[in-house]
Structure 1
Amino acid sequence: MKVTGLLFTAVLLGGTNAAKTITRTVKVYETKVENIQCGTIPSSSLDVWSDESTSTEQLLTRVSATLPSYDLNPAEAISYGSFSENPTVALVTPITTGGTTLVLVGSVDNSGLSATISSSSDGAKLPTTQSNPMYTSSLPSSSLSVTIDINTLTEDVTISESSFVASFTDDPDPTNLPVYTLDDDDNSSDYSDFETETATGVSSIQTYPVSSSVGSDGYYNASSAASSASSVASRRHGNLVTESSSSSAVSTSLDAAATTKTSTINLFNAVATTSPAKMFKSGKLAVSVARGVKNYDVPYQTNKFYTNLMLDDQDDSVWTYPYAFFYSKTYKGLAISYRTKSEWYFDSSTTPPSYFYGPIDVASIAFSASSFTSSNIRIGVNDMYQLSANAKLYEHGKSTEYIEVPLVEGMGFATAIYHGSLKPVLTTGVYFSKLISVTSKSVPSGVLKYEATLNDNSKWLIYVTVPDKYKTSSFNLKLSGNSKIVGNKAISGLIIQIAVEPSSKLQVYYDEAAGMYPVSAAVSGTFVTSTDIATWKITYTTKGKSSSGKTMLFALIHHVNSMASVTKSAATGITLYSVSKGALYGFLANELVMQENLKTVSKIGFLPWSSSMTKSLSYTSAQLKKIAKAANSELSVDIPTAANTDSTYYAGKILDKYAYILLVLETIVKDKALTKSTLAEMKKAFAVFTKNKQYYPLMYETKFKGVTSTASTTSGDSGADFGSSYYNDHHFHYGYFVHAAAAVGYVDARLGGTWAKDNKDWVNALIRDVANPSSKDTYFPVSRMFDWYQGHSWAAGLFTSGDGRNEESSSEDYNFAYGMKLWGSVTGDKSMENRGNLMLAIMKRSFNEYFLYWDNNSVEPKSYIPNKVSGILYENKIAYSTFFGTNTEYIHGIHMLPITPVSSLIRGWKYTKQEWKEKLASIIKKLTGGYAGILRLNQALFDPSSSYSFFSSSSFSSDDLDDGQSLTWALAFSAGLMNST
């Protein structure tokens, strides 16, 4: 007798082996079963579990409670022997009918699901082979069987990301909603013009043909031609999103477009102001700051340009752009250094050169005093903020008399303010050849102007501002031999300012700025939803006065190319140069104002995206089957165990690897049961970290105020876990956790959960550590890693470096901002979400000027451009290398990984194609190992077909995957771009 329509789910049973068994509810299958007289088991009825303490009797009791219509007799216990080690078993369901316990063992062949029936009170032996088994995989250590029935994946899937529909709870009348199409802004030559793009309004919410469709960030906003009685409304951070459920297909669209109702968002709202001590144990690093370094109640910065002045002997250089400064007992003060391009040193052993750098510790001119000696001089540092610090030079035991030297990124003068009875002295390591007094109509009263010529033929302007209560004529500077310029008297409050001399016609701008100087700088910004425009600015706090009411500031090229007209109009034409970031441009201003259009970056979400996409994201059934097969294989591990490594970095990568698989299951494969079970595993994995049970727990470090690894405090090795205990690489490490949390929170919310809300404080603590936007949050420094002046983060923490701060991985830098943007979206923090978008827009500019070298790059030295990437970028050096090797794939791959939807925004298909052709095509065929997978997935940005062929090949080896990379995501990413380009 045949009974059709039997549906059942998997239950893993066991007696003594139950401790090794991890239960997963998998997809429901429809089949024909021979010689069994029973009804249909509802698809949602069976969801049982087992653990270490579960006996077979208890397990069967649970099954019985789940299926009360069947007489499951616990007394007739079934022993499954070595079930946990059997990787061939796909489905097992116990059913008792008429007092006989039956075991259904499912296998798939061309005719569907067949059943093997055993009847025994002593035990049922499972088959060891199957005909065309479903794709399952088990590990002896975890005995985990995961199954997607790929035979159900028979239809192609289209995921819409070119049309967007949304309705909003704060404006129930959904009219005039904009419709956007994706644009491509890949060419770095286009950066000079920032566009304001106008949205096209529509009269009402539109409906689209019924199809399987998801927005580009994975958000479902369903709208179908026929209304559904089973539609479910759900809230996502203030917006009402509806989804029509149907047994066939659903039309969905992305809530990515802003409403026409204008709102202005403050981009720098505090993430939180609560203590992180409730989530992390407190501890203190053993590292000491140098004597005289004090920040009082303000959290210490750990990764800023002035870190060298905080540590050890304080004698390594710091760079404010355009000048470098270093503390020197030889020159008895704080030396200013500026070296021209002709003095830079290039590696001559290779073509192109493998590195270049500028000379260091060359004292052009140093601020000193007549009473200072090499033995009595001291330096202190205070008022340390995100873009500034204040250095003080004083004689030992006389700290009330000092020279104050503000150090602010972008400051146009080197400025010293003399306090007390210190008689000014300027020293040099290059030697003075001439000092003349300069008379100029544009120099205001109370200011003296000099021109100093050095033996290297460089010329410097020196301005002296005499306090109002003194006559200007009462003070003068004179040359004393060839190594000193001395003042004739001590005047408390005297200001000396120094700058490299420009052409005579441009000196007027320095004249008009003389007397005023910046002491600190703050970053602020807003985002206007109706225009997609973010306006951000660096506002300098100044002291003193000038005839123009302005000071001199220098901006980098990525500032200039996004600069608002209010700042552009203040351009002076003065140009100086930095070693690693090219030209700096002078502005007579007190703030730098920039603007970015966030329309494109705002649309990038969880799903594969490329700037070259011309069609909706879509997948064929054959591709879906390959993706499902890969997921079945890769989910055969115990995720919590796999992620709990002795490295925060690798733990984050592994968590994020499975977070991407989770996203693929939910949004592309759409396997609800496996999505739920994988989500449950991800929650367990995260719980290890949120409860601080990982190998090296995190702590709230109270000395410098941050969340750090305990690897160094436990091992005594400052370099443990890549130096993360000492604040190295936090954006690299935590970026993986933040993105993984965003993915888990997103999927969980779609299934009705509250995981993101429940774990918000923990994830936010990581974000606050790396990228606290507000001084109102006193538990962390403001913007520890990201330097808003430089346009990217500095990775180096509490370690000195002769060439300044460094950054090795541009891609892991923007990966943090990408994760933060998504977490802000998931949790409803609009300020965070759009701040992440702004950071990405800025990094698109900065990385394509300083790290990723287009053939037409005019910022970096021409001879270095053929390297195509920077390698490690320092403030005073660029080295085509990594900290772990000099292989070509390492140097390029570290600027690629991880490959995500935002990769194309930064790297673009045009640049990626250039890099591939010129540097990678010659090595790729012989390349194996994790970097092979990284380079091949990066290839999808310009040649997704070849990328997909590599990952879908029958000869593909999982050895060619990076620790943080999954075949599931590689297939989904490359196939999606291949079909959509």
Structure 2
Amino acid sequence: MHRSRPFLFPQAQSTVLPDPSPFFAPQLLSTPLPTNSFFQNFVLKSGDQPEYFHPYLVKSSQSALTLCFPSLFKNPAFIYQIFISDLIISTLDNPNPNANHVMSSFTELSVTLDFPSSSLRFFLVRGSPFLTCNVMRNVALSISTIHAILELSPNSSCTKYTIKLNNNQTWLLYASSPISLSHDINTITSTVFSGVVRIAALPDAGPKFEAVLDRFSSCYPVSGDAVFTKPFSLEYIWDKRGWGDLLMLAHPLHLKLLSDSDCSVSVLEDFKYNSIDGELVGVVGDSWVLKSDPVSVTWHSIRGIEEDSYSEIIKALIKDVEALDASAISTSSSYFYAKLIARAARLALIAEEVGYLDVIPAIRKFLKDTIQPWLEGTFGSNGFLYDGKWGGIVTKQGAMDSGADFGFGVYNDHHYHLGYFVYGIAVLAKIDAAWGRKYRPQAYALMADYMNLSRRANSNYARLRNFDFWKLHSWAGGLTEFADGRNQESTSEAVNAYYSAALMGLAYGIATSFPSDQLYQLSKSRQQKLGGM
């Protein structure tokens, strides 16, 4: 049986979207590309703003990789990580020192950065206490710092060096074979070397911390994968090299979700790094299984409504429904318009819950009048388009003005806007099944923009555009460079987006096809962990 192609909105001719940058290796350009990823700074503009790989800030610029073990600046208004060039890794006699890095591969948990002109390859794996560099041919390394180097001392085999700086930091350097290092006041250089170099900040001066890093220095991850294996279960699987066991770091929510029944991992509770996301604790194991509590996604409130409140609710419901008037809406903003749709849809579910169905026809008409023009492309001054450059939906206004629709045209806030649309569509499909069947292709397209799971080259959308598999919450910034990394903005609207996708699953009978209920629960867990920020 021939499967029809998924619906696509008309092609966008954007004047504001950048072309996918030369930072992506050519083989990566055949698939939709991330637009809200943890590594986004590496592929925007000059690619030289830092990103956070826990526990290090990492910056790439001019054939050098800069490593920072950040301290925190805190005051009552805000908190941020201070980027300082603690170690700058490059090579001597680079024939093209101004060359950019190339991202040769990426996953939800890792990035591989290549420096072709210097033959360096960095495996940047989130949560690794080591920075790992593969020196791919015989070159002389340079490791500089803005600090003064107080000490550079090797072990007896010259496969480990202790680096002490005048900012009270101690770094450990491990090599896969003997390496000869020398230093002046702020630069360490090597004789020619090829092989693997690993560098780690010593989180505490105590000998037990150094012993842990020594023990696990020979096994390194080159990438990591995040897989939904079972309902309410997310598995991290690392591709490792070397020998011995793999040491990684877990943030507080990881520790809360790590399966107690998984005896293949062990937690080193006393081995910790500080971070802006809480203490990062050592975990030993090639894979982790994270399990969240099952959540039952329902249309109506879980606890129900007390019957003595029905009359008051119905009175307010009638008043709110009488005020619905699609022709009176003055905004053309995808965000504000979508919120009006979602509010009206909520009235329908309230009416169902209190058993007052007289208002449903009026709500149904309002939802049809407001949603259909967006799905049919007849809204006029705004509407949805498909961007083939990055692989996703943009709006007409956003395609011409990067500030329009809160940056929707450069992939900002997609799950917020579309979450409200999806909520309204799910409710309308519930109360009008025939309408739902007619517009299912467009409904699926909107949901797929932020809920697509596929990694296939023929997919039209990036994989789970906004969700971060390691942080376990969503990002909203889009194709915008930020000196202090991604931004999350509104956790409540992220939760709503995944809840709305779960409701669409209920409306169309596809609840098991998407992990929307799981993302809904993970997002809720993250929000609760952060105190509802």
Return the TM-score normalized by structure 2.
0.91
CA distance in 1, matches of 2:289, 2:207: 28
Superimposed CA distance per residue, residues 568-609 of structure 1 (whole angstroms, 9 cap, x where no aligned partner)? 842123211222x111111122222111221xx31x422234
Query: By how many angstroms is 1:323 displaced?
Result: 0.9
Superimposed CA distance per residue, residues 652-680 of structure 1 (whole angstroms, 9 cap, x where no aligned partner)? 101111111222334424334x4134313
Aligned residues of 1:432 and 1:455 also touching (Cα < 8 A): yes
Aligned residues of 1:771 and 1:784 also touching (Cα < 8 A): yes
Richer in strand (by share) = 2
2:462 is the counterpart of 1:781: yes
2:228 is the counterpart of 1:525: yes
Aligned residues of 2:179 and 2:193 also touching (Cα < 8 A): no
Q: Which of the numbers 478, 491, 499 marks the counterpart of 2:200? A: 499
Q: For 1:144-163, what aligned pairs fall within 5 Å after superposition?
A: none
Q: Which residue of the partner structure matches residue 631 of structure 1?
A: 320
CA distance in 2, matches of 1:663, 1:423: 67
CA distance in 1, matches of 2:207, 2:454: 42
Q: Which residue of the partner structure matches residue 493 of structure 2?
A: 812
Q: For 1:591-740, what aligned pairs fall within 5 Å after superposition?
A: 591-598=287-294, 601-602=295-296, 604-609=297-302, 613=303, 617-620=306-309, 622-635=311-324, 637=325, 639=326, 641-642=327-328, 645-672=331-358, 674-694=359-379, 695-714=381-400, 717-740=401-424
Superimposed CA distance per residue, residues 217-263 of structure 1 (whole angstroms, 9 cap, x where no aligned partner)? xxxxxxxxxxxxxxxxxxxxxxxxxxxxxxxxxxxxxxxxxxxxxxx
Superimposed CA distance per residue, residues 715-745 of structure 1 (whole angstroms, 9 cap, x where no aligned partner)? xx31111111000000111110111111111
Query: By how many angstroms is 1:359 displaced?
Result: 1.1
Size of the alignment, in residue pairs? 522
CA distance in 2, matches of 1:408, 1:827: 38
Q: Which residue of the partner structure matches residue 841 of structure 1?
A: 521
Q: Which of the numbers 453, 475, 496 marks the counterpart of 1:794? A: 475
Superimposed CA distance per residue, residues 857-878 of structure 1 (whole angstroms, 9 cap, x where no aligned partner)? xxxxxxxxxxxx4xxxxxxxxx
Query: By how many angstroms is 1:831 displaced?
Result: 2.5
Q: Which of the numbers 255, 280, 283 marks the counterpart of 2:10? A: 280
2:169 is the counterpart of 1:458: yes
SS at match of 2:106: coil
Q: 1:346 to 1:508 in 2, by over 3 A?
A: closer
Superimposed CA distance per residue, residues 482-503 of structure 1 (whole angstroms, 9 cap, x where no aligned partner)? 2222222132xx1111111243
Query: By how many angstroms is 1:409 displaced?
Result: 2.0
Q: For 1:41-120, what aligned pairs fall within 5 Å after superposition?
A: none
What code does the residue aligned with 2:387 have?
Answer: E
CA distance in 1, matches of 2:209, 2:354: 60
Q: 1:761 to 1:387 in 2, by over 3 A?
A: farther
SS at match of 2:279: strand
CA distance in 2, matches of 1:773, 1:521: 17
Query: By how many angstroms is 1:385 displaced?
Result: 3.2
Query: By how many angstroms is 1:832 displaced?
Result: 4.4
What code does the residue aligned with 1:538 have?
Answer: Y
CA distance in 2, matches of 1:276, 1:425: 52
Q: 1:725 to 1:628 in 2, by over 3 A?
A: closer
Aligned residues of 2:87 and 2:145 also touching (Cα < 8 A): yes
2:247 is the counterpart of 1:552: yes
CA distance in 2, matches of 1:367, 1:276: 47
CA RMSD of aligned residues (A): 2.5
Aligned residues of 2:419 and 2:498 also touching (Cα < 8 A): yes
Query: By how many angstroms is 1:415 displaced?
Result: 0.9
SS at match of 1:457: coil
CA distance in 2, matches of 1:539, 1:519: 11
Q: For 1:376-455, what aligned pairs fall within 5 Å after superposition?
A: 376-395=98-117, 402-438=119-155, 448-455=159-166
CA distance in 2, matches of 1:368, 1:632: 65
Structure 2: tracts of 5 or more residues without a match:
none
Aligned residues of 1:792 and 1:846 also touching (Cα < 8 A): yes
Aligned residues of 2:257 and 2:290 also touching (Cα < 8 A): yes
Query: By how many angstroms is 1:688 displaced?
Result: 0.5
Superimposed CA distance per residue, residues 420-456 of structure 1 (whole angstroms, 9 cap, x where no aligned partner)? 34322222122321111236xxxxxx99222111111
Q: Which residue of the partner structure matches residue 358 of structure 1?
A: 81
Aligned residues of 1:567 and 1:589 also touching (Cα < 8 A): no
What code does the residue aligned with 1:487 have?
Answer: S
Q: Which residue of the partner structure matches residue 74 of structure 2?
A: 346
Query: By how many angstroms is 1:620 displaced?
Result: 4.3
Aligned residues of 2:451 and 2:516 also touching (Cα < 8 A): no
Q: Which residue of the partner structure matches residue 46 of structure 2?
A: 313
Aligned residues of 1:699 and 1:710 also touching (Cα < 8 A): yes
Superimposed CA distance per residue, residues 734-793 of structure 1 (whole angstroms, 9 cap, x where no aligned partner)? 110111111111122xxxx33333322222222221122221362211121010111110
Aligned residues of 1:386 and 1:782 also touching (Cα < 8 A): no
Query: By how many angstroms is 1:644 displaced?
Result: 7.5
CA distance in 1, matches of 2:451, 2:223: 19
SS at match of 2:506: helix
Superimposed CA distance per residue, residues 311-334 of structure 1 (whole angstroms, 9 cap, x where no aligned partner)? 1122111111111101244xx610
What code does the residue aligned with 2:251 have?
Answer: L
Superimposed CA distance per residue, residues 336-382 of structure 1 (whole angstroms, 9 cap, x where no aligned partner)? 10024xxx2233xxxxx11122212x111122111238953432223
Aligned residues of 1:624 and 1:669 also touching (Cα < 8 A): no
What code does the residue aligned with 1:425 have?
Answer: S
2:37 is the counterpart of 1:304: yes
Same amino acid, percent of matched pairs? 22
Aligned residues of 1:447 and 1:515 also touching (Cα < 8 A): no
Return the TM-score normalized by structure 1.
0.51
What code does the residue aligned with 1:482 have?
Answer: I
Q: 1:851 to 1:307 in 2, by over 3 A?
A: farther
CA distance in 2, matches of 1:688, 1:616: 35
Q: 1:376 to 1:622 in 2, by over 3 A?
A: closer
CA distance in 2, matches of 1:809, 1:276: 29
What code does the residue aligned with 1:607 have?
Answer: H
Q: Which residue of the partner structure matches residue 965 of structure 1?
A: none
Query: By how many angstroms is 1:617 displaced?
Result: 4.5
Q: Which residue of the partner structure matches residue 439 of structure 2?
A: 759
Q: 1:447 to 1:669 in 2, by over 3 A?
A: farther
2:274 is the counterpart of 1:577: yes
Aligned residues of 1:509 and 1:588 also touching (Cα < 8 A): no
Which structure's CA Rg is the greater one? 1
Aligned residues of 1:690 and 1:762 also touching (Cα < 8 A): yes
SS at match of 1:281: coil
What code does the residue aligned with 2:10 have?
Answer: F
Aligned residues of 1:643 and 1:652 also touching (Cα < 8 A): no
